[in-house]
Chains A and B, each alone.
Chain A
Amino acid sequence: MIDSGFDRRDFLKVMGWGGTAVALSGCGNTSIEDGKETVVSYVEAPDYVIPGVGVYYNSTCAQCDAGCSINGKVREGRVLKLEGNPASPINRGKTCGLGQAGVQHHYNPDRVREPLLRNGDKGETITWEKAYALIAEKLKGVKGEEIAFLSGGVSGHLKALLGNYLDSIGCKNHYVYEALAPGVVRAANKKAYGVEMPRYNINKAKVVLSFGADFLGAWVSPVHFSQQYAQFRKGVDGQRGVLIQVESKMTLTGANADRWIPVRPGTEGILALGIINALGTTSGEIAAAVKEYDKARVSKETGVPPGHIDKIAALLKLRSPSLVLVGSAAEGYAHGSQNAAAINLLNHVLGNIGKTVQAASSVPFPQLSPTKGNTAALKSLNDGLAAGKFKVVFNYAANPVFTAPGAMKFKDNLAKAGFKVAFAHYLDETALQADLVLPLDSALEDWGTQVPEYLADGAQINIQQPLMEKLHANTRGMGDILLTLIKQRRADSYKNYEDYYAYLRAAMLQNKGALGGGGLDEDAFWNETLTKGIIKMSGTTVALSGRTGASGLTVPGAVECDEQYPLQLIPGVNISLRDGRHSNQPWLQESPDPLTTIVWDSWVEIHPKKAAELGIVEGDIVEVTSRTGSIRVQAYLFPGIHPDAISIPIGQGHEALGRYAKGYGVNPFQILDAIYDKETGELAMHETRVKVSKTGQRVIVVKDESAAGAKQIREKIAGRMSTDEVDLSKEV
């Protein structure tokens, strides 16, 4: 399709849609000065183009999987800024910092521009024809079970096409991997509520008790939850919502809590059972299950004072409905499933089901609904690689060489695969190991559909459309690549689709009626779809079901002190950098971490009390050693962490990716032990134990806060009032 006479951009122009049409007049990395580009005024400008005036096109943000709809400002063929699309029930016109930086993904100077074939240590530029032929050749005679396809979460038509391609090559090994997926929480929710991700109504709750769910920062759908949070603070029936956050390392959500409760790492489930016990409203099976968890014992094991447990229980009793959330801090242990089950039980006990925990809708097309990534998939892939099972390995939208725990030795195992193909935006750590690297279009250049895992209101399919002409001539959309590959096998079935755009359009028009375009003709429906950027539908609702009892519910006690490795390592999830795939976007590197204000680097958070014990001061380079390995990193004294734990943020420590990422900070994944949740097989991210020793070196920490630390000296400019003093419901 690539070399056919048909130009999809021309087609677009005919259609009168997409910012791309304007861009035909010239952009890319040429300049007027070098003579490759000339200034030509519009003799006959397209109707909607006025030089100097921005035109806005709707699309979907691809910086994370939350599925926020965006509205891109396009001027003279270039996309300048992304705003939220107010029509989307998910983000309602809002964006996060990560989403804002989407343009830096698109314009990134370190994107891969040509297909590269390994020649020793170097990548040699080859043509797409050769690349496709090479894949066909490498797949020849290879059995389906000898092929592995690793990807991040996929949804929409890309998922359908990928499934068909894998089917055509007989590959049954599709590993869907997300380094930071809430895998254990999904499984626990499925048991407790009957769905993996129910709809949470933070805005309807009077109390939110969150066990390590960083819903304002990096959990599931942060922009959506942030808006709910704002409503929750204004209050239901005039009563301002109260947020209690239980976690061992303060997250952004913890920093916004009315009460932040530092709990001994891993004992979140015990505290949940202790609260059920203190509520004293249960009987029968549940009461029997929590009988042992009296205040004295719970307090001893969790480190939470008995008075606090009483206060929480009293508040939960008094103010209903409440909402209990279980997040990544509680699930990250070998007993993560048990923790999550105990915490979810609280929602049943408090009667929140059906009020603040509601049935989620799903898109009525199962073939488009998201295939969610988890970390158990990485383990099976790694085991297969270690056993030398795979002759051909594909990788798309995942960077396991960077994000796999060091103990897995993923990079070494990957080397055992015969032929490795990476579909990549950047030469990241995993792409560098590949034999063939195929450059992808940016999310602002590509077509697609997306269905988010967390649907806010009804169901929706998000449309992704190019906001401008491709920056680099030799990148391709993932859909286009898959379509070409599938034509190698099933030419007849796909011969009607010139390219992915044609496929997508045809697929959407086929279901016009079901997608709400029953009364419209094809062009009108398609144009309306692209204009809106979202197809809303009522969706099918699965009623909540699931276990309400407590049978088989046990939570192990707090771990005994480990003399050799006395501290728990908590990999911190930074709101901007997440799993590290966006670390090469300089705005994000220069955006201070909200809690420490550190930029362009990694750090280890140590509680001041523990630091004093170890003789560590800010800026000391310390060696953090686990059973798997060790890394050296600057110390930052942080009061928002349990003294038995330390935390290093993930996302930094790249050895590749690009100029803004490579060589900054350290990668804590490298020293993570391979410990798994016993029930789900998900990686227990918080289970690694470490020791810390000084190296004698010291640096000045590069951060935004002053030398005085995060304290207000002299006059206070940011104060705090108590709820006794104000009534927010009376405010404007």
Chain B
Amino acid sequence: MSVSNLLENWSQFRHFHPVDDKPHDPYKWAMSIDLDACSGCNACSVACYAENNLPVVGREKYAHGHVMHWMRIEHYWDEDVGEEGGREFPDQGAQFLPMMCQQCEAAPCETVCPVGATNHTADGLNSQIYNRCVGSRYCEANCPYKVRYFNWYDYPTTDNVWPAEMTQQLNPDVTVRGKGVMEKCTFCVQRLNAAKVAAKSEGRIVHDGEVQTACQQACPTSAISFGNLVDPESRVHKQWQAQQVEIDKEKQAKDMQEGGTELRGYRILENMRPYPSVMYLERVRESAV
């Protein structure tokens, strides 16, 4: 298969959700994060540790890049700050960007898994099946967002990760992962499933606001919205719509208008066509000062 063939007939080769015979119904979980509200405080990240039984790896393993934070805050300075001929100070502040699994609709990690341990769910999540995972780490290599984390060690039996007392804090709704498996943000699937089951038993679908992810619930500035993208009543749906971001497009209205637009919504690395389920709203800064 030549590269030109691949590029020309892209759509035939790319596995993409929702597929025609299985549309997103009644759920498609999605998120939007307002970077103008995000203060970079890390509350979301700690809340994720608490909810999802993330191990604390310690200084040495952190230095080796083994940290397991499913949700991390990326922090950037402007390019010219501190550079030759650039600005001496970051006088417009820093940029913060909460980064976690983007639950791509055409996830690059899914296609490379040799055992099908990571695949797409009907409600639009990129799921990870721990007991199917053989630890090839292909998915990690193929993830453009670098949000997959590998268990290099057996953390439950590693000293001081979960001493006896701390095991009591572990969330019984979330598996504690052992050595050799890949893990990542699940959009708090345990909460989603509980809400779905509760709704189903009442013969309805989950209302907007009925289920929150741990990061969303903690966020002191309410920068994170989460909900069902195919529910026209949901806040996430309204936000995506207002920002004219469509899940199955790789170029949005914002990209196509020349000379800027009022739209703030964008998705990261859209041009690689992973069709992520997280929309970010660009940070705004005052022009008058």
Contact = CB atoms under 8 A, between A and B. Distances in A.
Same complex: yes
**Which secondary structure dominates where chain A touches chain B?**
loop
A178 to B, nearest CB: 21
B199 to A, nearest CB: 16
Contact of A720 (B63, B92, B163, B165): B92
A101 B75 CA distance: 22
A96 interface: yes
Nearest to B268: A717
B42 A242 contact: no
Nearest to A217: B41
Interface string B59-77: 1001100010100111111
Contact of A710 (B47, B94, B242, B286): B94
Contact of B50 (A29, A81, A728): A81
Interface string A79-111: 111111000000101111111110110011100
A454 interface: no
A262 B89 contact: yes
Contact of A591 (B45, B97, B164, B289): B45
Contacts of A82: 50
A725 interface: yes
Given A80-B171, A230-B223, A639 B37 contact: no
B93 A260 contact: yes
Interface in B72-131: 72-77, 79, 81-82, 88-97
B165 A732 contact: no
B11 interface: no
A229 interface: yes
A729 to B, nearest CB: 11
Interface in A592-615: 592, 594-595, 597, 599-601, 608-609
Contact of B284 (A216, A311, A575, A721): A721
A726 B34 CA distance: 14
Contacts of B76: 710-712, 718
A259 interface: yes
B264 interface: yes
Interface stretch (B15-23, B149-157, B175-183, B212-220): B212-220
A96 B220 contact: yes
Contacts of A725: 260-262, 284
B90 A732 contact: no
Contacts of B95: 712, 718, 720
A660 B160 contact: yes
Contacts of A84: 217-218
B82 to A, nearest CB: 4
Contacts of A599: 59, 62, 67
B43 A107 contact: no
Contacts of B47: 95, 97, 100
Contacts of A108: 165-166
A84 B216 CA distance: 12
Contacts of B221: 226-227, 229-230
A681 interface: no
A260 B285 contact: no
Given A95-B218, A705-B75, A718-B283, A591 B166 contact: no
Nearest to B219: A94
Contact of B58 (A256, A600, A704, A732): A600
Contact of B165 (A29, A83, A608, A715): A29
B235 A732 contact: yes
B193 interface: no
A99 B284 CA distance: 29
Interface string A248-275: 0010111111111110000000000000
Contacts of B250: none
A611 B95 CA distance: 23
A149 B86 CA distance: 55
A121 interface: no
B246 interface: no
Given A600-B58, A660-B160, A705-B75, A722 B40 contact: no
Contacts of A705: 74-75
A640 interface: yes
Given A227-B220, A704-B67, A727-B262, A97 B43 contact: yes
Interface of B: 35-37, 39-43, 45-47, 49-51, 56-59, 62-63, 67, 69, 72-77, 79, 81-82, 88-97, 160, 163-166, 168-172, 214, 217-223, 235, 238-239, 242, 260-262, 264, 266, 268-269, 280-289
Interface of A: 27, 29, 31, 52, 75-76, 78-84, 91, 93-101, 103-104, 107-109, 216-217, 222-223, 226-227, 229-230, 233, 240, 242, 244, 250, 252-262, 308, 311-312, 315, 471, 575-576, 586-592, 594-595, 597, 599-601, 608-609, 637, 639-640, 659-660, 664, 700, 702, 704-705, 709-712, 715, 717-728, 730-732
16 contacts: A100-B49, A104-B166, A230-B221, A233-B36, A255-B90, A259-B286, A308-B289, A639-B90, A705-B74, A710-B75, A718-B280, A721-B283, A728-B36, A728-B284, A730-B262, A732-B235
The 7 closest A-B pairs by CB, nearest first: A226-B220, A97-B46, A600-B59, A258-B286, A230-B221, A109-B163, A586-B56
